[in-house]
Structure 1
Amino acid sequence: MSSYKTAGSQDITSSSVVGAPCWVSLTTRDMRAAEEFYHAVLGWEWRTGRLGDEYRFASVGGVPVAGVSAVETLGQATAAWTPFFAASSADETVARSRERGGTTAVGPLSFPPGRAALLADRDGAVFGIWEGELVADWQQWRRAAPAFMELHTRDVFDAAIFYAEILGWASEGAGSCEVHYEGEEVVLRSQGDVVARIHAGAVGSAPDPAIRPHWQVHFTVDDVEACARAALAHGGSVLRGGTRATEAAVLGDPDGARFVVDPWPVRGDA
């Protein structure tokens, strides 16, 4: 994953922000369409790293912010954005997930200079973990394309316990994420930033993947309405919102992957 480095970037490892989201990655059938769409909607530039043409890196101002991998066929799976969380040990994190009822889809696999795995929690929400050198300095990544993650799940507290136990949330370790219960939500903070939220309301057997437990990636933008118009103009869809600058919009890319654009500032950081 971290095969793209910018000039002057520091070698920051996952251990420095353990438990926090540290990367987002898109799986799609059509790499070219995805590149054109996200360039138009979010202004991203694209380049290839050492992983070759089948994994491309998006950047903002020279800072890598996201990746996209091309998969010719996804079978019954849908194109989707996946958040990756920093882990001090991929092997230990995968083992803890399995012990607590999670499943392992892929890995851990080596992608020098690190290791990655793709997992699902007890309710089936898919997420990734990354151990090793980060693609970019974590604070640079946060500033270049401000993002946070939302987990829509059936049981907020059960989910919070699962992730806390496998990712070290609210532990005494250096750099551990803070967990706060605010109303019926769980809010995760790292280095003072809101980086994730957990909501209830998902239905495990729902036929619509947007209703089943899942992680949703949010990107903060200056102009939500402009993003919505660009999405429609480049083969995407506006699933909710997009008519008011002060409200978030749920967008779909040409392959159906859903994401949210939020007006600045990041929700929860105001």
Structure 2
Amino acid sequence: MEDPMTHPHPAPGTPCWIELATLDERAAQTFYAALFGWSYHTKPDPATGSYTIASLDGVPVAGLYRVMPNQPPSWLLHLAVANVRSAVGWATSLGGTVLLDPVDIPGRGSIAHVRDPSGAICVLWEIPDDWAFGTDEPGMFSAADLNTWDGDAVDHFYPTMFGLHSHQVGYAPGIDYVEWRLDEPILYRNVMGDEYQNATPSHWLIYLGADPRRGADVLAEQAESLGGTVVLPPFDTGYGRAAVLADPSGARFAITDRSRPDPDWRAEVEDPYDD
């Protein structure tokens, strides 16, 4: 794997970090260390009291911090921007809502929290020069799905903001799934269907890589034995075998074994909005 310290800055809209906001940081550290082999380094943080960097084989893979008891535990996706203040202006002009105005964090660049027009929350991050983020290996970030009720709204918001192209992927009747692409897919969008409760808010679902030597099925079983929950048992997709899990605090995430794509899973369909 390429040395993450030599990565060029990612293109705007590219996932560049993930954070776990958890009710019990110690339990979360134990869970993810057992599941993926993560190690941790914690340092003081003025916003949250402390901030923990999770690493795998010396490569940073995620951040962890503790939230207040009245806040839901969740994984939070960060998207790269060239200038966070300009990006916030774009977001609001496209119907987004700023939840946290741009903040400069010493040594960590500048961030802002934004809610998109469908209600999903993400972080816009103007990353520092020494940015490092491990991806596309077991135990590291693999992909992110935006699960939403309003495909039209987000298909306008994110592609316009980041210059992405929408590529419709149809794999079953009544399912609306889109790749948002630069040269390759960088984000995915799914319109939620009957399998979701009506009260489910729009949200980003983060995928972490499953080691092919173990596979998604074994990893899901292990997560359950560690106090997690199997929200959606392992299933086949055109991108790999996946499962949706929740950690002991209830934060949901997915795992995917990309060595096992199902070649019969999807069929490309024409997207009238793809330019």
Q: TM-score, normalised by structure 2?
A: 0.78
Would you identify which runs of 4 or more consecutive aligned residues in structure 1 move more than 4 Å? 134-138, 202-205, 266-270
Question: Is residue 137–residue 209 contact of structure 2 (8 Å, CA) maintained in 1?
Answer: no
The amino acid across from 1:216 in the alignment is: L
The amino acid across from 2:219 in the alignment is: C
Q: Distance in 2 between matches of 1:108 and 1:266?
A: 41
Q: Distance in 1 between matches of 2:106 and 2:7?
A: 13
Figure out how many residues of one structure are paired with residues of the other and give that number. Answer: 246
Moved more, 147-156 or 98-107: 98-107
Helix, strand or coil: the match of 1:247? strand
* Residue 188 of structure 2 is aligned to residue 197 of structure 1: yes
- For residue 104 of structure 1, what is the aligned residue in structure 2? 98
The amino acid across from 1:127 in the alignment is: C
Change (3 A) 1:179 1:265: farther
How many angstroms does 1:224 deviate by? 1.4
The amino acid across from 2:168 in the alignment is: Y
* Residue 126 of structure 2 is aligned to residue 131 of structure 1: yes
How many angstroms does 1:38 deviate by? 0.6
- For residue 254 of structure 1, what is the aligned residue in structure 2? 248
- For residue 143 of structure 2, what is the aligned residue in structure 1? 148
- For residue 173 of structure 2, what is the aligned residue in structure 1? none
Residue from 197, 215, 218 that aligns with 2:207:
218
Deviations, residues 75-132 of structure 1 (Å, cap 9, x unaligned)? 2x31000111000111111122122221121231111331011111111111111002
Residue from 232, 251, 254 that aligns with 1:240:
232
Deviations, residues 176-204 of structure 1 (Å, cap 9, x unaligned)? xx542333322123553x33210112699
Larger RCO, structures 1/2 (Cα 8 Å, 6+ apart): 1
Q: Distance in 1 between matches of 2:136 and 2:256?
A: 14
> 5 Å matches for 1:38-49?
38-49=32-43
- For residue 60 of structure 2, what is the aligned residue in structure 1? 64
Q: Distance in 1 between matches of 2:19 and 2:7?
A: 20
- For residue 21 of structure 2, what is the aligned residue in structure 1? 27
Q: Distance in 2 between matches of 1:8 and 1:50?
A: 24
Q: Distance in 2 between matches of 1:155 and 1:239?
A: 23
Moved more, 221-230 or 36-45: 221-230
* Residue 168 of structure 2 is aligned to residue 181 of structure 1: yes
Question: Is residue 147–residue 266 contact of structure 1 (8 Å, CA) maintained in 2?
Answer: no
How many angstroms does 1:264 deviate by? 2.4
Q: Distance in 2 between matches of 1:93 and 1:158?
A: 18
Q: Distance in 2 between matches of 1:62 and 1:268?
A: 32
Helix, strand or coil: the match of 1:9? helix
Helix, strand or coil: the match of 1:164? helix
Unaligned runs of 5+ in 1: 1-6, 171-177
How many angstroms does 1:51 deviate by? 3.8
How many angstroms does 1:266 deviate by? 8.3
Larger proportion of strand: 2
Question: Aligned residues: percent identity?
Answer: 28
* Residue 69 of structure 2 is aligned to residue 80 of structure 1: no
Residue from 90, 110, 121 that aligns with 1:115:
110
Q: TM-score, normalised by structure 1?
A: 0.79
Q: Distance in 1 between matches of 2:77 and 2:262?
A: 19
The amino acid across from 1:239 in the alignment is: V
* Residue 110 of structure 2 is aligned to residue 94 of structure 1: no
Helix, strand or coil: the match of 2:54? strand
